[in-house]
Structure 1
Amino acid sequence: MSNLDVRHQLTNEEEQLLQRATDLFPVLRKFGQQIDEDRHIPEELIEQLAAAGLFKLGTLKKYGGYEVSIRALVEIISEVAKGNGSVGWVVQIINGNNFNATLSLSPQVLDLIFEEEEEVRFCSVLQGRKVDFQKVDGGYLVEQGLWGFASGSKHATHALLNLRDNRSVKDNASMLLAVVPMSEVTIIDDWYTMSLRGSSSNSIQIHNVFIPDKYIVDQSENMYTNMNVLSNESEHINQYKPYTLIISTLTTGISAILGLARGGLEYFVETATRKGITMTTHSIQAEVGHIQYKVGLAAMKIESAHLHINRSIESLEYHIQKKQPFTEKEFAQIQTDIGYAAMLCTESVDMLMVESGGSVIADSNPLSQIYRDIRGGANHALTTASTGLELYGRILLGLPPQNLLTLSYRPILTV
């Protein structure tokens, strides 16, 4: 049975990391406007996040990281996003990518990467816009490649990029992932948006870059190899490898959205006890019946979203423990859970915006920033509710999936 109280499921170290994220809340809120105006996170704040260990949540202990559980990752990143959506998004993306790179790359390649940098931070784009490459002796030559949107690009050391683009994924949905140092990447300054302005989700490009074979992961081959890892308990991390795509869904979108909704509710509750409603006789918003109703409904939507997220995590943990592949329906249900959770969180903030009066439209109003950021987060391909609901409906109706993530994983799903 899913439970909203996750404290008893976190280790002491994970609770300490969660507390460090909580302690940064005032600093994150203070930098809110500057982050939006600069369209990236100030370096002094990056340093504070790094000092708190918040870029190493998904990094293996052997490389100086914390190797936290998926559940802890969601809770800690959610706490960061309560303070600022852009920061939460970047922390989420870097940790999710670091964890997923660990599951995808060989130990030898990981050793090389982590020896080169004091702190490795991956950005990623899992579908190229246009990529022209060819297989050559010893690797791949990318003649030209364009990807968007690479969240956290200005703060990353490496990029994890799918060499298959919009044209080729229709013929082959599995990913051909390449590790590229950011020194080989050009960041295009094109992230001018209403939402998550400080996430540095710029387009990136490379031109005539040679990528050695050892830095390439062919997912179509890797998935079958990883299924054989189910019976191999020589390394703790191995148990996660067959579930890399599910873990990508859980670690690269929903945590920040959950945190933004939680932050929006907390801010609204705080201000409702000291402001009235213009053009009425109500001097305290919190004493008005329809406000109480909306706060209760918003809270239930957020808590329901958390339950859906927890159900997905429990499903993942069950399959890992039993060393079982997912059925197609189970895989689709997790994707749908995440999109539906994002929809519930967005709806909760929408309701609170409506009840916040005219002052909420100011850029400086924290709820205004939360509203903009959660809207952008919920539009991410992995958290778009309509895509997930269509997928789940198709599976329930006995139709083939339309979702590329499900299609790429389909060869090793059970009926």
Structure 2
Amino acid sequence: MSVPGDFPLQYSPSINADLVGRARDLRPLIAANAARVELDRQLPEATVGALTEAGLLKLTVPRRYGGHETNFATYLAVSAEIARACGSTAWVTALINICNWAVCAAPDKAREDVFGADPDARVCGVLAPGGTATPTGDGYRVSGSWGFTSGSPHATWAVVGVQVANGGRAVEFGNVLMPMAELTIKDTWHVAGMRGTGSNTVVAQDVFVPAHRFIRLSFGGDQPDNHPDEPLYRSSMVPSLALVLAGPQLGLARAALDHTLATIGKRGISYTFYDHAVEAPFTQFQIAQATELIDTAALHVFRSAAHIDQAAIEGRAMEITERLRVRMDTGYAITRCRQAIDLLLDANGASSFAESNPLQRIWRDSSVAARHAIASPSVSAEAYGRAVLGVEEQMTLVI
């Protein structure tokens, strides 16, 4: 059994088929390691090594450092493809790549420290200002802790949010870039889903950060265009940060569909006369609806990717309504993916929740990932509604 089209290449002509093909080739290895990922609560070195060798952890690294400098459509397609084998692996891949992108959008001196020294550097990070940066001479002394730092066990650098303190008062917000060797990791990630993402708490205690590794933030506006010849790094920040979270969700939903199509024809439906579940009209409806929901989600995700990519190519700042539509598309797509997974669980019945059944892990991973604050469907809908209605006062600075 199959569904129309080549997922996810069918959704955008700008997707790099070679990079998606590399992700597809790794799926057997990633799937074989998925159970170990849950037990260890981080990716095994075999998976990290394979992702590194395939170049899938440097999607957003400049070509000058040996990266792919790829567009967001390809980025999303790669993470979706990986999620068909393991949600945690896709999440780590997506989050490391977006943190790499954030560093590469910074001025040359900062990114040279990271990727000039090590083209295979991996950056983890948290946008929220969980720390304080105190100015001192030619830099800052930074202390703080940042929870939910996905991929931290595999990272070589961290980019994390801080408030700059002057006389005990916050005067500015930004990100600081620090080597993981100068930080500690608290093992705090004990959760129901996305167990293998290593989203632990990163701690800094009076770490010196040179001034050039402080990156100013501009919520609701675009970052400075530090690299005019590299359009990727002038992509709108908040829309990009939000949208990449939808890639793993698309892949998880498709994984649920893949599993269902591969197995549902082999069983009947208990307490009915259906010897084959595929003969039941309600099963047919569930599969059709789930497939359409996944398709709907993907169309919204790749539409937004196209808008981000095109605006960056044109050197055009996305308007507030455009930005918030990306967040709306993100929340909407994630909701559709979750609905599709629920329908597929219904079609498969109570056996879906056996520990040996990958559907229960897919369900848990999708449910946990969907609660990421920047992808909240409710917040996104309210903010977008205000913009469409022309309400000047917003309820978030993260636009």
5+ residue gaps, structure 2, are 1-7, 165-169
Q: Please give the alpha-carbon distance, in whole angstroms, between the structure 2 residues aligned to 1:344 and 1:305.
A: 6
Matched, 1:128 2:129: yes
Q: Which residue of 1 aligns with 2:14?
A: 9
How far apart are residue 363 of structure 1 and its match? 2.3
> Please, what is the CA RMSD of the aligned residues?
2.3
1:108 aligns with 2:109: yes
Whole-angstrom CA distance in 2 between matches of 1:125 and 1:309: 23
CA distance in 1, matches of 2:19, 2:124: 22
Q: Could you tell me how far 1:24 is from its partner in structure 2?
A: 1.6
Q: 2:382 aligns with which of 390, 397, 408?
A: 390
CA gap 1:271/1:222 in 2 versus in 1, 3 angstroms: closer
TM-score w.r.t. length of structure 2: 0.91
Among residues 243, 247, 254, which one is paired with 2:240 in the alignment? 247
Q: Which residue identity does 1:23 align to in structure 2?
A: D
Cα offsets for 1:107-165 (capped at 9, x unmatched): 12212222333511111100034x233111111112x3011110000011110100039
Within 5 Å, which residues of 2 pair with 1:251-266?
251=244, 253-266=245-258
The secondary structure found in structure 1 opposite 2:148 is strand
- State the 1:199 CA deviation: 0.3
Distance 1:192 1:98, change over 3 A: same
Provide the secondary structure at the position in 2 that maps to 1:65.
coil
In structure 2, what residue type is equivalent to 1:204? V
Q: What is the CA deviation profile of residues 327-383 of structure 1, one whole-angstrom value per residue up to 9, with x for unaligned ones?
A: 221111111111111111111101111222222112221111100001111111122
Change (3 A) 1:52 1:304: same
- Work out the CA distance in 1 between the residues paired with 2:81 and 2:316: 32
d(CA) in 2 for partners of 1:53 and 1:80?
Answer: 13
SS at match of 1:203: strand
Structure-2 residue corresponding to 1:195 = 193
Partners of 2:28 and 2:280 lie apart in 1 by 29
Q: What corresponds to 2:167 in structure 1?
A: none
Q: Distance in 2 between matches of 1:136 and 1:63?
A: 32
Structure 1 position 4, deviation (Å): 7.5
Hey, what does 1:160 align to over in structure 2?
159
Q: Work out which of the residue numbers 342, 349, 367 in structure 2 matches 1:375.
A: 367
Correspondence for 2:34 among 18, 32, 35: 32
Instruction: State, as a whole percentage, how many aligned pairs show the same letter.
Output: 30
Q: Compared with structure 1, are the counterparts of its residues 361 and 328 closer, same or farther at alpha carbon in structure 2 (3 Å cutoff)?
A: same
Who is 1:409 aligned against? none
Task: Give the counterpart letter for 2:397 in structure 1.
Answer: L
The SS at the match of 1:9 is coil
> What's the offset of the Cα at 1:198?
0.2
- 3-state secondary structure, aligned to 1:191: coil
Whole-angstrom distance in 2 between the partners of 1:341 and 1:221: 23
Distance verdict in 2 for CA 1:7–1:338, change over 3 Å: closer
Task: Give the C-alpha shift of residue 222 in structure 1.
Answer: 12
Aligned to 1:139: 139
Higher helix share: 1
Unmatched 5+ stretches in structure 1: 166-170, 407-415
Contact kept in structure 1, 2:184 and 2:203, CA below 8 Å? yes
Alignment of 1:365 with 2:357, yes or no, is: yes
Aligned-partner residue type, residue 396 of structure 2: N
- 1:114, 1:189 → 2: CA distance? 27
Task: State whether residues 222 and 236 of structure 2, in contact with CA within 8 Å, keep that contact through their aligned partners in structure 1.
Answer: no
**Which residue in the other structure is 1:64 paired with?**
66
Would you say 1:301 and 2:302 are equivalent positions?
no
Contact 1:7 1:15 survives alignment (8 Å): no
Equivalent residue in structure 2 for 1:236, among 218, 230, 234:
230
CA distance 1:101–1:157, change in 2 (3 Å): same
CA distance in 2, matches of 1:216, 1:363: 45
Of 32, 47, 56, the residue aligned with 1:45 is 47
Cα distance change of structure 1 residues 223 and 285 upon mapping to structure 2, 3 Å threshold: same
Structure 2 residue aligned with 1:401: 394
Contact residue 138 and residue 212 of structure 1 kept, 8 A: yes
Q: In structure 2, what residue type is equivalent to 1:372? A: R
1:226-280 deviation digits (Å, cap 9, x = unpaired):
26x7xx85x134x6426233222223x1111111111111111111111222222
Please state whether the residue corresponding to 2:185 is helix, strand or coil: strand
Task: Name the residue aligned to 1:208.
Answer: 206
Aligned equivalents of 1:404, 1:149: Cα separation in 2: 21
Q: Equivalents in 2 of 1:42, 1:314: separation in Å?
A: 33
Q: What amino acid does structure 1 have at the position aligned with 2:10?
A: D
The amino acid of 1:380's aligned partner reads H
Name the SS for the 1:161 alignment partner: strand
CA contact (8 A) 1:126 1:175 kept: no
Partner secondary structure for residue 284 of structure 2? helix
Contact 2:266 2:276 in 1 (8 A): yes
Name 1:412's counterpart in structure 2: none
Contact 1:187-1:204 within 8 A present in 2 as well: yes
Kept after mapping to 2: 8 A contact 1:100/1:248: no
| In structure 2, distance between residues paired with 1:8 and 1:271 | 32
Question: What is the CA–CA distance in structure 2 between the aligned matches of 1:136 and 1:19, rounded to whole Å?
Answer: 48
Q: After superposition, give the CA deviation of every residue in 1:277-302 in whole Å (9 maximum; x if it has no partner).
A: 22222221112111110111111111
Residue 96 of structure 1: which of 95, 98, 109 is its match? 98
CA offset at residue 221 of structure 1? Answer: 11
Aligned equivalents of 2:394, 2:212: Cα separation in 1: 32
